[in-house]
């Protein structure tokens, strides 16, 4: 899009090598990069690959190619050569035209549909407890990746596979049955997911007491864990659920219903959504047909105990159990079946699983099995693996002392945002309702930006206080910049119907801002291809940083020449549009004023 000058520089450098040295160099060998800040210029051509044709020093080669390019590309104002680097300075008229004809257009940063479909599966909670800090990173990553891919032209399905069955769910159910005295979200005032999570903790406490009692009677820890009455009752409850026992299934539906109401409230506050829900209670029996298919084709083999396995040692993995000897599923069985179900239903070109890095091995095995089974769509499967989130100790209260609850964290972020905003006096003239909306916007923006600006693969330390700094590399700094630009535009009564202005010259601050804005489509493309919101997050910070530099160094509303004022208003409007668009792809709102 905005990089046509780069294409022409490459084409003309190829032509220069032909004209000057009579040699053909592949365009792929011409390397362009941004000029380093300490040197004059905006685009740098690396001359080292050309010296084998020129048979001259990198400096002399750079001088000759620079002269050829200046003669053949009118947008080049000057060039200089530092060692083997040819630094190109482009004319002011090029940058002015780039803003007026490209960046300020409504279609800037928008990609046409590419006709391809991607499913992004994220969240995947268990219905025995509320969402926690790790889930927040998962949800924000999944949502943002989906939005970035959508912006890049893909048709997107956001999916959520809910783990709503199994022994852990029965633990909460049994504990509520035994110790709950009929407590409900309505009677307790607790969110449904918190209430069910409370009984999961109760189960654990009572179970540990039983283990200690059995150990005191002489049982080993291992035996005590197996023989504890609560565990035996839980296993029986699971069997009853699988057999369709009416009372057990009714209790399961009731308690899961409470949890879903709680989750819906958390998802709404997080600002994430889903197009399709899958439930493990519907999918846990899937996959057995695939096992039979694999046995028939020789991909799987049976052991003496009738269990079914696959040998993946040729891929550096182990032998893997895919069906127990008694015919019951293991996790990989249902994952195979669910993968087939999703493809049968949507026929997507790619499927992204947003799951923490503790599951790296599991997904290597899953994808490998599907490839060996000859599933043509398996090549489009990708595990977006992300690192853990840590908190500085003592920074956050957590309900059980071990896990940081998502609702607690979001509430604390909004309270911190309120304190900081009040301290800085940024809410003059706001009604109470407007203040509440602003604090929510800033608090959630701080949380989301801090978690998304880090490469997903990296483990990160989340500091709630640092994230709400209005001057740092933070969401609130970017939000405040957006509000500042809007304030300027409001004072000028600017609308995008203002005619385009062509000043005689522009400053280095204006040029630097235009240059970074022009990269927006490339950043969307790179973020989409790498499934990394971090690239976009760091880009939008750079836009905000350079806008503030421009704002402090140049007058806008009081510019002496009308065309300079109008040009700077267009530049401000374009910066605001790119900030709002990029932040929206990160799932972050920007306030009109603060």
Domain boundary among 44, 62, 90: 90
CA 276 – CA 272 distance, rounded (Å): 13
User: Does residue 287 fall inside a structural domain?
Assistant: no
User: Does residue 190 fall inside a structural domain?
Assistant: no
**Number of structural domains, the chain?**
2
Residue 247 neighbours by CB distance under 10 Å: 9
Mean pLDDT of the chain: 94
Task: Let me know how long the chain is.
Answer: 594
Q: What percent of the chain has pLDDT over 70?
A: 98
pLDDT attached to residue 207: 96
pLDDT attached to residue 345: 97
Residue 3: pLDDT band (50, 70, 90) is: low
Residue 425: pLDDT band (50, 70, 90) is: confident
Question: If DSSP codes are grouped into helix, strand and coil, which group holds residue 67?
Answer: helix
User: Does residue 362 fall inside a structural domain?
Assistant: no
State the average pLDDT over residues 153-168. Answer: 96
> In terms of pLDDT, which residue wins out, 530 or 497?
530
The tokens of 362 are what?
């599991």
User: Does residue 297 fall inside a structural domain?
Assistant: no
State the average pLDDT over residues 540-569. Answer: 96
State the average pLDDT over residues 304-314. Answer: 96
pLDDT attached to residue 135: 94
CA 143 – CA 374 distance, rounded (Å): 31
Domain boundary among 90, 110, 126: 90
DSSP output for 109-148: T-----S-EEEEE----BTTS--BHHHHHHHHHHHHHHHH
What pTM did the predictor assign? 0.93
Quote the DSSP letter at residue 166. Answer: S
User: Does residue 283 fall inside a structural domain?
Assistant: no
Please state the φ and ψ torsions of residue 203, each to the nearest 5 degrees: -55, -50
Using the structure block, give the residue that is written with the tokens 């099995």: 369
Answer yes or no: are the C-beta atoms of 120 and 159 closer than 8 Å. yes
DSSP output for 28-96: GG-EEEEPPTTSS-SEEEE-GGGHHHH-S-HHHHHHHHHHHHHHH-TTEEEEEEETTEEEEEE-HHHHH
State the average pLDDT over residues 522-531. Answer: 97
pLDDT attached to residue 464: 85
CA 356 – CA 135 distance, rounded (Å): 9
Range of the domain at 11: 4-90
Domain boundary among 90, 116, 135: 90
Cross-strand pairs, 356: 386
User: Does residue 233 fall inside a structural domain?
Assistant: no
Q: SS3 breakdown of the chain: % helix, strand, coil, rounded to 5?
A: 60, 10, 30
Q: Which of 94-108, 376-390, 487-501 has the lowest mean pLDDT?
A: 487-501
CATH number at residue 421: 1.10.730.10
Predicted confidence (pLDDT) per residue in 113-138, tens digit: 999 999 999 999 999 999 999 999 99
Predicted confidence (pLDDT) per residue in 354-413, tens digit: 999 999 999 999 999 999 999 999 999 999 999 999 887 655 444 445 678 999 999 999
Question: If DSSP codes are grouped into helix, strand and coil, which group holds residue 474?
Answer: coil
Predicted confidence (pLDDT) per residue in 274-290, tens digit: 999 999 999 988 999 99
Predicted confidence (pLDDT) per residue in 440-488, tens digit: 999 999 999 999 999 999 999 988 889 999 999 999 999 999 999 999 9
pLDDT attached to residue 463: 87
Answer yes or no: are the C-beta atoms of 144 and 454 closer than 8 Å. no
Q: Which DSSP helix (H) or strand (E) runs through 323? A: strand 319-323
User: Does residue 216 fall inside a structural domain?
Assistant: no
pLDDT attached to residue 398: 43
CA 396 – CA 132 distance, rounded (Å): 12
User: Does residue 119 fall inside a structural domain?
Assistant: no
State the average pLDDT over residues 210-238. Answer: 96
State the average pLDDT over residues 282-307. Answer: 94
Using the structure block, give the residue that is written with the tokens 């924000």: 140
CATH number at residue 12: 3.30.1360.70
């Amino acid at each position: 899009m905005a990089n046509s000058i780069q294409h022409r520089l490459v084409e003309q450098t190829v032509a220069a090598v032909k004209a000057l040295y009579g040699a053909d160099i592949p365009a792929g060998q011409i390397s362009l990069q941004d000029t380093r800040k300490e040197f004059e210029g905006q685009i740098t051509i690396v001359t080292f690959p050309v010296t084998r044709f020129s048979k001259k020093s990198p400096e002399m080669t750079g001088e000759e190619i620079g002269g050829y390019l200046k003669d053949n590309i009118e947008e080049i104002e000057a060039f200089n050569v530092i060692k083997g680097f040819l630094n190109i300075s482009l004319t002011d008229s090029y940058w002015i035209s780039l803003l007026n004809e490209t960046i300020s257009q409504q279609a800037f940063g928008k990609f046409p549909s590419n006709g391809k479909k991607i499913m992004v599966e994220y969240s995947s909670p268990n219905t025995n407890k509320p969402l926690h800090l790790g889930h927040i990173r998962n949800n924000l990553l999944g949502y943002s990746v989906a939005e970035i891919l959508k912006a890049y032209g893909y048709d997107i399905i956001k999916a959520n596979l809910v783990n709503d069955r199994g022994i852990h769910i029965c633990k909460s159910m049994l504990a509520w049955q035994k110790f709950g005295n009929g407590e409900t979200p309505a009677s307790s005032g607790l969110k449904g997911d918190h209430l069910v999570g409370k009984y999961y903790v109760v189960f654990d406490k009572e179970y540990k007491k039983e283990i200690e009692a059995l150990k005191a009677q002489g049982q080993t820890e291992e035996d005590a864990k197996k023989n504890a009455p609560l565990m035996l009752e839980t296993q029986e409850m699971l069997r009853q659920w699988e057999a369709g026992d009416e009372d057990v299934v009714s209790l399961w539906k009731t308690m899961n219903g409470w949890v879903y109401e709680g989750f819906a409230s958390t998802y709404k506050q997080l600002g994430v959504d889903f197009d399709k829900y899958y439930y493990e209670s519907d999918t846990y029996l899937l996959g057995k047909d695939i096992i039979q298919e694999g046995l028939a084709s020789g991909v799987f083999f049976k052991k003496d105990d009738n269990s079914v396995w696959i040998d993946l040692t040729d891929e550096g993995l182990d032998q893997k159990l895919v069906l127990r000897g008694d015919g019951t599923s293991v996790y990989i069985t249902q994952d195979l079946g669910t993968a087939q179900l999703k493809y049968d239903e949507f026929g997507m070109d790619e499927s992204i699983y947003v799951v923490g890095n503790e599951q790296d091995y599991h997904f290597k095995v899953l994808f490998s099995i599907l490839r060996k089974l000859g599933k043509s769509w398996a090549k489009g499967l990708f595990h977006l693996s992300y690192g853990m989130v840590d908190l500085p100790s003592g920074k956050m209260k957590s309900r059980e002392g071990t896990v940081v609850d998502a609702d607690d964290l979001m509430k604390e972020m909004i309270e911190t945002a309120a304190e900081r905003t009040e301290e800085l006096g940024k809410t003059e003239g706001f009604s109470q309702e407007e203040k509440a909306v602003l604090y929510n916007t800033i608090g959630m923006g701080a949380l989301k930006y801090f978690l998304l600006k880090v490469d997903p693969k990296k483990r990160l330390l989340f500091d709630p206080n640092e994230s709400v700094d209005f001057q740092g590399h933070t969401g609130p700094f970017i939000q405040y910049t957006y509000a500042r630009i809007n304030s300027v535009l409001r004072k000028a009564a600017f609308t995008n119907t203002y005619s385009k202005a062509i000043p005689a010259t522009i400053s280095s601050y204006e040029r630097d801002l235009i240059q970074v804005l022009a990269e927006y489509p490339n950043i969307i493309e790179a973020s989409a291809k790498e499934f990394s919101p971090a690239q976009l997050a760091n880009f939008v910070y750079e836009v905000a940083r350079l806008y503030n530099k421009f704002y402090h160094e140049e007058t806008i509303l009081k510019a002496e020449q009308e065309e300079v004022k109008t040009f700077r208003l267009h530049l401000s409007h374009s910066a605001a549009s790119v900030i709002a668009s990029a932040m929206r792809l990160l799932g972050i709102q920007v306030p009109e004023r603060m």
